[in-house]
Amino acid sequence: MSTSATTSAPLIEKHTIGYVPPEDRHGKVRDLFTLWFGGNIAPLPIVTGALGVQLFHLNLVWGIVAILVGHLVGGVLMALHSAQGPQMGIPQMIQSRAQFGSLGALLVVLIAGVMYIGFFASNIVLAGKSLHGVVDSVPVPVGIVIGALGSGIIGIIGYRFIHVLNRIGTWVLGIGIVVGFGYIFTHIQTDDFLTRGSFNLSGWLATVSLAALWQIAFAPYVSDYSRYLPADVKVSSTFWTTYLGSALGSSLAFIFGAVAVLATPVGMDTMDAVKIATGSIGPLMLVLFLLSVISHNALNLYGAVLSLITLVQTFAYRWIPTAKSRAVISIIVLLACCFAAVGASKDFIGHFVDMVLVLLVVLVPWTAINLIDFYAIHKGQYDIQSIFQVDGGIYGRYNPQALLAYAIGIAVQIPFMNTPLYVGPVSAHINGADLSWLVGLLVTSPLYFWLANRDSAYRRRMMGGKLVGSH
């Protein structure tokens, strides 16, 4: 079934947020490994990984340990979301209506859309810097526009083209980053490569959090890239191919950033450090990273557009969005991001870290609720028709249990937060370490499970034993 579907699948994606019927399913589960491995070997994770030694002053060994712990833990949550795609056949944000209600899900969809746009803008800044690093005569703003246009074309073509590019990118970028590591380790330019920095608990926890949150940031759209797979694909296969691809690719990129920064003098911009640390192959590395960021950034544009379509369709429920609608909205988002990125490029790292830390405080409880609802409450069985009804069908406009657990999940994180907007008392007491995401997960998950089961028991009594919502 999957073979014939794959050969007949159109290059330009015709679906947007609607259910993907069995006859339109295509692809192989191994495509998820290449998508998340190749997509994560890019400038943005390299810059983020360098923060462990640049901003949090860890040495190489403790920086690597923190990076691995964060990605291995956060990757579990990310891959559990991915495994929902083949079973549901709909985008992740649309599925959130089953947990929060048709209107209750709007806040999460809006937050996810803003996050995608932030990532897209951040990535095109790095595309501009990479292009300028390769060709000095190309100004960074011009490079930003070129990077945005490249990502826009890929995003408009859609799902299948994104997978094709990342299959190629996995081999090219995988070989490239291994060669880059080899060059750096044999041409170290500093005497304090292994001794710069030291272990400090707050910096180590902060680096773990950055790595874990990098994975969790994919949660709102990871299943968008598995939803076209045949419904009979094993959950375990979807999980492991996604988990291994994302955790391995992200870890390599994060560590590469840390290594490049330590191999060059203190105070250097990360991408400049990459160019210098890789010496004669530096221009080639920058070209590879430029192509990678353009390809990977299409995912952020794609996710932003699906989120915006979801927001509009909630109110204009008779509207059936098409590939043309997706293209028009993609162009609008692309133009807006170009203007924002050109203005933010001078203080890119600061803006990026601020955005991630603030947005993920409100996305962590959503992740907990979605996973508990899918795996423990409904066990993957949902009424797709209700999800697309304006009144939410059997899921209603609002789900008080989910909204209450969500609000509490945000509130309990506040004392543990360490963001540019606010530093909680617990975080201040432990030298600035941010444990809010972990607290949010540990509190929201059992709380929502308890609230949902209480509600289910009540409805069973009221409906004479019929459990509403588990069709």
Tell me the Ramachandran region of residue 432: left when phi exceeds 0, alpha when psi lies from -120 to 50, beta otherwise. Answer: left
| pLDDT reported for residue 15 | 60
| pLDDT reported for residue 165 | 79
- Mean residue pLDDT of the chain comes to 83
Please determine, for residue 141, whether its predicted confidence score (pLDDT) is greater than 80. Answer: yes
pLDDT mean over 308-316: 80
* CA-based radius of gyration for the chain: 22
| pLDDT reported for residue 463 | 42
Please determine, for residue 257, whether its predicted confidence score (pLDDT) is greater than 90. Answer: yes
The pLDDT > 90 percentage for the chain reads 27
Alpha-helical regions (H) of 263-347: 270-277, 282-315, 323-344
Instruction: Residue 300: name the closest of 366, 356, 230, 350 by CA.
Output: 356
Please determine, for residue 219, whether its predicted confidence score (pLDDT) is greater than 80. Answer: yes
| pLDDT reported for residue 339 | 79
- Extract the tokens encoding 305: 């557009």
Cα-to-chain-centroid distance, residue 351 = 17
- Is residue 155 within 8 A of residue 298, CB to CB? The reply is yes
Q: How many C-alpha atoms does 418 have within 13 Å on its Cβ side? A: 19
The pLDDT > 70 percentage for the chain reads 88
Domains in the chain (CATH in brackets) are: 2-352 (1.10.4160.10)
Q: Tens digits of per-residue pLDDT, 3-55?
A: 444 445 555 656 666 778 788 787 888 889 988 998 888 888 898 899 999 88
Indicate the range of 121-135, 313-327, 413-427 predicted with least confidence: 313-327
- Extract the tokens encoding 275: 């160019």
If one compares 296 and 398, the residue with the highest pLDDT of the two is 398
Q: What is the Cα–Cα distance from 455 to 463, expressed in whole angstroms?
A: 12
- Is residue 68 within 8 A of residue 204, CB to CB? The reply is no
| pLDDT reported for residue 408 | 96
| pLDDT reported for residue 292 | 81
- Only one residue has tokens 């640390």, namely 277
DSSP state of 420: S
| pLDDT reported for residue 347 | 64
Instruction: Residue 299: name the closest of 42, 29, 5, 3 by CA.
Output: 42
Q: Tens digits of per-residue pLDDT, 319-351?
A: 767 777 778 888 888 888 887 777 665 666 566
- CB burial of 349-362 (b: ≥16 within 10 Å; e: otherwise) equals bebbbebbbbbbbb
| pLDDT reported for residue 458 | 46
Angle 138-142-145 (CA atoms, 0-180°, nearest 5)?
Answer: 140
Please determine, for residue 237, whether its predicted confidence score (pLDDT) is greater than 90. Answer: yes
| pLDDT reported for residue 362 | 85
Q: What is the Cα–Cα distance from 194 to 182, expressed in whole angstroms?
A: 16
| Helix H or strand E encompassing 68 | helix 60-82
pLDDT mean over 195-211: 89
- Is residue 385 within 8 A of residue 393, CB to CB? The reply is yes
Indicate the range of 244-248, 280-284, 288-292, 321-325 predicted with least confidence: 321-325
- Residue 315 CB burial class (10 angstroms; 0-12, 13-18, ≥19): exposed
Please determine, for residue 434, whether its predicted confidence score (pLDDT) is greater than 70. Answer: yes
Could you tell me which residues are beta bridge partners of residue 418? Answer: 423
Backbone angles phi, psi at 321, to 5 degrees: -65, 140
Please determine, for residue 263, whether its predicted confidence score (pLDDT) is greater than 60. Answer: yes
